[in-house]
Amino acid sequence: MLAAAVLGTWAVLGAPARAEPVRLAPVLVIAEDEKPAHATAVRRAPFRWQPDGARAIARVPDEKDPALEVTLTRAESNGTTTLTVDAEWRKPVWVHLAAVEFELPGERARVIGRDLKPIDTRSAHLERFDPKWISVEDPPATVLVDDTLDGVEVRAGAGRTTIRLELDSADARPFLHDAHCAKLWRAPNRHLPTPARLRVEHDRAAARVQLRSDAVTPLAPARFPDGRRASLAISDHADQSSARTLAVLARGLIAHHLAITKALFAHGADRPQLEQPEVEKLADELAAAGSEIVPHSATPRPDDRATTESALARFDRWRARTWIDHQPETNCEAFGDQGFLVEGKFGIADLLAAHHYQYIWAEDDAQPGDLNLLDPRRLDHRAPTVWPIGRLEANGPDSLWMFRSMWAFIEARRFYKMYGEDRLDKLERERGLHIAHTYLETYHPKRTKFGLRNLFVPVDKHEKPGGAGEVALDPRFDALMASLEKRQARGTLWVPTIGELGDRLRATAEVTLTLGANGSVVVHAPRALAGATFVVPIDKAVVEIAGHAPRGTAFSPNETTFWDDLPEGDTTIQITERINRQDAKTPKNQK
């Protein structure tokens, strides 16, 4: 048994703790097997505490020949009980779930939601990049978990709050692939889930939990840099691209200081792309201006390994790290078809890893609608947006991540409504994340299925859309670009590439918070992080970072946001007091 004195809900800074000790009985929750199809049966294993009372060990499936060994270590410092979880796999096994679970008395639970606001909850999934600050009342308790794990599940009811630390969860790492490669994309097909991930000898997972014995104001790391409230990334697929339209799109993006992830074919068949020198030059110009140039498969047709490897070498020119499948139903080498394999004619997972790819498009798009993929109003549902895939087969890589986008190839009138000012305002209010799946160069005859989705217009007003003449951006499309530019310039929206977005989320998750004395928090960054942003649920708070004011501060009702450049190593943050509204000024770019 583990005894820890913990204190709860958003307490006043520096208040003394007088809570009775809370006793925890952690258990290992495991679903794994030598065969992936059998890895979904969940069972529980107790931890055995060592004589020193500071360590506990659980071994599964049996004590003498375990596939997995999990060690809990308890330490006390500055009124905080720290529980460190170290898991090591001893032999290959397919894992659906590996988690540590414990209960706290009391069912009034509160968490920091995906919009970084405190919210009472009965059930919550805290994803990899969500804050993991949990409070329970009656009796009070406060729990803080690092972002090193797949997620944390919180369930409150019947006088208890259950907290599950997901070290490895297939549900947090979704992957679907087509049942077979079809000749026609409309042909019946099934998306097959992958219920388990392969762990091999010496694979490790870890977590750190802090249970507080005095009061500290919640401090939530924000996902995006420099106080920006939301992020909108564009992944533009290659299907509608041509030299003519790409030239106009590139000029518009560069003029509005916007970067996107632009996918192209190495060989475009009926729509020549990188085989044309002018397209290659445009790709160079976009890359020089900050956009990400990536493959949309190698060609529009099924590609064998040799063709794909040649295309990957072609994209080395732009240091591509993001892969976007073309039509997974018919492109057999698509990662969502047979490409996730490392063998056979169409397996390419090992090729992607060898060429240092990191981010793979997940083909199960969100349907067009509310922009925010984080879905903050449904904390009881998972909302993965960027996640590590894990090892999908023996000898497969475990270095690849996936990202999910929202289908945005819709009629132009719906497109402009979906990205209207009110929708972008809402995305910012919610501190949301949107990844768009677009075909920005669409240009077809008027009133056809694709023509209704045109984002280009003929320069000659007497020419019909879809003709061979000179084209320009639809004025509404140009206005949307101008809106994104304005929001980015004023510091409320971030428009990154997919690679930049993934890198930032992962770098932020590496930052750890250690609760100190007198309401202080020690922030540890394993590497320097520019524009690290934090949110505290206090109106007009005064913040000191390493003894000085933060580089930027923004205020909103019951909330203070601040940001600064974190050096490598430890930095102390102190939330010292509240200040009067009339004494605080809102920065110009946050009004």
Q: Indicate whether 462 pLDDT > 50.
A: yes
Does residue 126 have a pLDDT over 70? yes
Q: Is the pLDDT of residue 578 over 70?
A: no
Report the predicted TM-score, pTM, of the whole model to 2 decimal places.
0.94
Residue-level pLDDT at 372? 98
Query: What mean pLDDT do residues 276-297 have?
Result: 98
% of the chain with per-residue pLDDT over 90: 85
pLDDT confidence of 13, banded at 50, 70, 90?
Answer: very low
Kindly state the DSSP code that residue 453 receives in the 8-state scheme.
G
Question: Could you tell me the pLDDT band of residue 581, with boundaries at 50, 70 and 90?
Answer: very low
**Strand (E) positions, 34-67?**
43-46, 48-49, 55-60
Q: What is the pLDDT of residue 580?
A: 52
Task: Inform me whether the pLDDT recorded for 483 exceeds 90.
Answer: yes
Q: Quick one: which H or E segment has residue 349?
A: helix 349-354
Q: Say what percent of the chain tops pLDDT 70.
A: 93
Within 10 angstroms of residue 421's Cβ, the number of other Cβ atoms is: 11
Beta strands 569-578; 541-545: pairing state: antiparallel
Domain boundaries, the chain: 2-218, 230-496, 504-590
Q: Report residue 558 as tokens.
A: 């019951």
Q: What's residue 577's pLDDT?
A: 63
Report domain 2-218's class.
mainly beta
Q: What would the pLDDT profile of 519-564 be if each residue is shown by its tens digit?
A: 789 999 999 999 999 999 999 999 999 999 999 999 999 999 999 9
Per-residue pLDDT at 107 exceeds 60: yes
Task: Please name every residue paired with 494 in a beta bridge, in sequence order, or none if there are none.
Answer: 231
Q: What is the mean pLDDT of residues 421-435?
A: 98
The average pLDDT across 119-147 equals: 94
Per-residue confidence (pLDDT) for residue 585, from 0 to 100: 46
Give CATH for domain 504-590: 2.60.40
Give dist(CA 44, CA 38) in Å, integer. Answer: 16
Instruction: Give the model's pLDDT for residue 78.
Output: 75
Q: Residue 21 above 50 pLDDT?
A: no
CA atoms of 270 and 246, how far apart (whole Å):
16
pLDDT in the model for residue 587: 45
Q: How many Cα atoms sit within 13 Å of 339 on the Cβ side?
A: 36
Q: What is the mean pLDDT of residues 85-89?
A: 98
CATH number of 230-496: 3.20.20
Q: For all residues of the chain together, what is the average pLDDT?
A: 92
pLDDT tens digit string along 295-311? 999 999 999 999 999 99
Tell me the average pLDDT across 95-103.
97
What band does 52 get if pLDDT is binned at 50, 70 and 90?
Answer: confident
Give me the mean pLDDT over the 242-257 stretch.
98
| Residue 292: predicted pLDDT | 98
Q: Which residues contact 4 (CB under 8 A, 6 or more apart)?
A: 21, 22, 24, 74, 81, 83, 211, 213
